[in-house]
Structure 1
C-alpha cells in the first residue's frame, strides 16, 4: 500500500511541476499520469520530444487529428485487442477518456494569421 502511494506521488510530480505553466484539468492530469505510466515506454507523451520507439507516434501528433469520440473509440479498441505492434493495454473506459482529454490538451492553438 505504501509503495503504491509513493508510485502515484512520483507519477503526479511532473504534472504538478508543469501546472503553473500549462494548467491541466483534472481529467487531463489523470490522463497525463496514465500516459506516463502506461504509454511512455513507446510513445512520446509530452508536448515536446520524440517517442522512445521511432514507430510510435508522439501523442502531440495525435492531438487534433481525430474528433475526440473517434479517438476515444480507437483507444478503447486498442485497449481490448491491441494494434499492429502495439501490445494490449489494461485500462478502464474512464481511463481512456482521461487519456483522450490529455492528448487533446497537447493540440496547439490555431495559427492566428
Structure 2
C-alpha cells in the first residue's frame, strides 16, 4: 500500500468512526428533554425518583449494567426489549449524542 493509499484509508476510517460516535457538541439538556418526552412515562429520568413502571430501570442505574456509550448502536437501530410494554423506537444521530450525554449526567 502506498503512502497516499494509506492516507486515504486512514481518512476514510476516521470519517466512518466519527460518524458512528455522538457529536462532540452533544447537549445534555436536549437529551434530558428527549428523556422527559419519550421515556419518563415509564423510566425515572432523575437521580432520586422511582420509575413509574416498576419493571423499567431508572436511567441513573443504567451505567451499573453496561457503559451507556454502548447504547449508541441500539438507539440508532431501534431498541427492542423482551417485554411488550417497551415500545420500539429509534433516535437520530444527533439525538443519540444528546441522550447519552444526558445519561452520563446521572452516573
TM-score range, shorter chain: 0.5 to 0.7
SS at match of 2:73: helix
Matches within 5 A, 1:17-28: 27-28=27-28
1:84 equivalent in structure 2: 82
Separation in 2, partners of 1:64, 1:28:
19
Name the count of aligned residue pairs.
81
1:105 equivalent in structure 2: 105
Larger C-alpha radius of gyration, 1 or 2?
A: 2
Cα–Cα, structure 1 residues 47 and 93, in superposed 2: closer, same or farther, change >3 Å? same
Structure 2 unaligned segments of length 5 or more: list them.
1-24
TM (normalized to structure 2)? Answer: 0.64
User: What's the offset of the Cα at 1:50?
Assistant: 0.6
User: What's the offset of the Cα at 1:63?
Assistant: 3.1
Q: Does 1:48 align with 2:48?
A: yes
User: What's the offset of the Cα at 1:29?
Assistant: 0.3
TM (normalized to structure 1)? Answer: 0.61
Contact 2:62 2:68 in 1 (8 A): no
Separation in 1, partners of 2:61, 2:50:
10
Cα–Cα, structure 1 residues 57 and 68, in superposed 2: closer, same or farther, change >3 Å? closer
Alpha carbon RMSD of aligned pairs, Å?
2.1
Larger relative contact order, structure 1 or 2 (CA cutoff 8 Å, min sep 6): 2
